[in-house]
Structure 1
Amino acid sequence: MRLPDMPLHDPFVVADGKTRTYYLYTSNDSSVSGVDGTGTMVYRSHDLRDWKRPVVVFLAAEQSGIWATDGGWAPEVHAWGDKYYLFTTLHDQDKPLPVPPPNQWGVPFQLPNHMRGTITAVSDSLLGPFTVVDPSRPTPPAHLMTLDGTLYVDPSGQPWMVYAHEWLQTVDGTMEAIRLAPDLSRTIGDPVFLFKGSDASWISEQIPGGVPHQLPPYVTDGPQLYRTPDGSLLMLWSTYEKNLITEDGTVGGGYVQTYAVSPSGDLTGPWLQRRPLVRDDSGHGMLFRTFEGRLMMILHRPFDNARGKLYEMQLLDHALRVLRQRTDLDGDR
């Protein structure tokens, strides 16, 4: 298989040096995996061009006592100790959360809120099967509507989960972080605020004035942390240029891949927002290095019926830019 033929939302790549294999994780799609159900599947390749048909590594319905079986968004797999840990976001629309009243923050209708959050599952293998660590609740605080949790390990060795706090609950979506226990089994302490979606000042350039329902919310999606050689910390994240909101909570208006920089290298910032790297309804990207040492970014485009797109990147100090799209790999001419 090749990327134009591969359904692929919220892609995440693990470059396994032991086998010189790229593992590309995404939400389960039964049309290619042949397995029904909410979960995670993985494609494999030795060259980023030709991929094996995906295998399913996690199914929510197979987890005894799990709190939710919908979603399966934004799967990531991280090596930690001698295990591999899967983070993926589940939700349950039948478990409502308190909602802000209509007309708060200028939104003229009540936003739908329900339990949503990233779970943690563990395996001995990159190919799973992954078993959820705590089936009773999401990893971030359950009263918060969150998604897209990612692992970050600070210079002291402390693991964190960084996640997006949904605009559905905050209107101005935020990025937050919470400490994890050494075995990633539970959280420690309270969430730490990192930044809010409206901090990206370029968003206001795109929002038309005087048009009902086309003002905030501000969406925060898809965090991924990357340490630069100069000691700074980058965070890739995604949002919308024109936040078009409907009463069912749908947002549209142009998904974009952007990033922020913490020049101090501290997770708590301060975070400086940079302009988008890729537009054209593209986003939820992550950085990885090829076995030859090239810095690459993979993201999905378009938002609906998404496919994976690959970009060769350049990092100068803590400035990130696109060198070229790898159309020889992703087929997007």
Structure 2
Amino acid sequence: MAKNQDIQIRDPFIYVDRKEGKYYMFGSTDKNIWGKGTGFDVWVGEDLENWEGPYPVFRPDTEFYSDENFWAPEVHYYKGSYYMFATFLRKDNGKRGTGILKSDSLMGPFLPHSETSVTPKDWFSLDGTLYIDKEGKPWMVFCHEWVEIGDGSICAVQLSEDLKEAIGEPVTLFSASQAPWPTSFEHRTRKSMKNYVTDGPFMYRAKNGELLMLWASFVDNIYAQGISRSVTGEITGEWKHDVETLYVDDGGHGMLFHDLNDELFLTLHSPNQTPNERPIFIPLEERNGMIRRKK
């Protein structure tokens, strides 16, 4: 049995199994996530403090299209199966993108479902998440990386009903610089540009019906979380941005979930330095579409 302070993980994602009364915690679980990837593991617990595992849920074979940068797995239940959206660095062109795996069990094994990454082949993309619109159509919301475009953006693309591929062209929802809270930074490879990060979008339908998006960026080089909201209630926006951050204590790439007692939580990893990152759980309160840390 391990406690949160014992578990090195980035990009934690909680699947709440209400039938079993258990939490399944997925995330970037390679000790050195910046290099060669070994796969993904899951931790299983009956509360948010004590975990059994890690249990392997994905190990690639030699034919898999990536062997590096295995990042940010999310698991969603869709039409009778579990689908894992995760980021991989492609072998064929060295570009990152989100691919989709499938399993009949939360314990895996998850096997390749999409042929390769579902994000545009020639883009540096990451952190795809599933969103089902009001008409039941599946979308993937993902980040177009700052390493390619400078001012990172968040995009959406409609998926085929079987989640095997994207259909149509991606739509840019907004760029990081359009929100009031992220700050720019210089990078040695892009010294003449202002760079802004977008990471880890997660969709959340508030109790009042508003469509919210949690996402991560940096404030004065500190990893942080903020919220944006769709004016129309549709994934294509227009998107407006909360002025205040939700979390700005060197943690990010989070998600929102209701625990087994229906209390709202934010989970993310903090601090944002390898190998010290750990999962943390923050109780929240929601009032009229506004989400704040519970006092």
TM-score, normalised via structure 2 length: 0.91
Counterparts of 2:281 and 2:29, CA distance in 1:
21
Q: Aligned to 1:73, which of 71, 74, 83?
A: 71
Q: Which has the larger radius of gyration?
A: 1
Q: Which residue of the partner structure matches residue 237 of structure 1? A: 215
8 Å CA contact 1:281–1:302 kept in 2: the answer is yes
**Residue 215 and residue 323 in structure 1: after superposition, are their counterparts in 2 closer, same or farther (change >3 A)?**
farther
Counterparts of 2:176 and 2:236, CA distance in 1:
15
SS at structure 1 position matched to 2:147 = helix
Counterparts of 1:184 and 1:263, CA distance in 2:
27
Counterparts of 1:17 and 1:203, CA distance in 2:
36
Q: Does 1:317 align with 2:288?
A: yes
Task: Specify which structure has the higher proportion of helix.
Answer: 1
Letter paired with 1:228: A
Letter paired with 2:198: T
Aligned residue-pair number: 285
Query: Where does the alignment leave 5 or more consecutive residues of structure 1 unmatched?
Result: 97-113, 243-252, 325-333
Calculate percent identity across the aligned residue pairs: 38
Deviation at 1:67, TM superposition (A): 1.8
Q: Does 1:167 align with 2:136?
A: no
8 Å CA contact 2:24–2:42 kept in 1: the answer is yes
Deviation at 1:144, TM superposition (A): 1.2
Q: Aligned to 1:119, which of 99, 104, 108?
A: 99
Instruction: State the superposition RMSD in angstroms.
Output: 2.0
Q: Which residue of the partner structure matches residue 26 of structure 1? A: 27
Deviation at 1:207, TM superposition (A): 6.7
**Residue 5 and residue 193 in structure 1: after superposition, are their counterparts in 2 closer, same or farther (change >3 A)?**
same
Aligned pairs for 1:36-115 within 5 A: 37-60=37-60, 62=61, 65-92=63-90, 95-96=92-93, 114-115=94-95
Query: Where does the alignment leave 5 or more consecutive residues of structure 2 unmatched?
Result: none
Q: Which residue of the partner structure matches residue 271 of structure 2? A: 302
Q: Aligned to 2:227, which of 259, 278, 290?
A: 259
Q: Aligned to 2:257, which of 284, 288, 301?
A: 288
Counterparts of 1:237 and 1:28, CA distance in 2:
20
8 Å CA contact 1:299–1:308 kept in 2: the answer is yes
TM-score, normalised via structure 1 length: 0.81
Task: Specify which structure has the higher proportion of strand.
Answer: 2
Counterparts of 1:143 and 1:215, CA distance in 2:
22
8 Å CA contact 1:12–1:25 kept in 2: the answer is yes
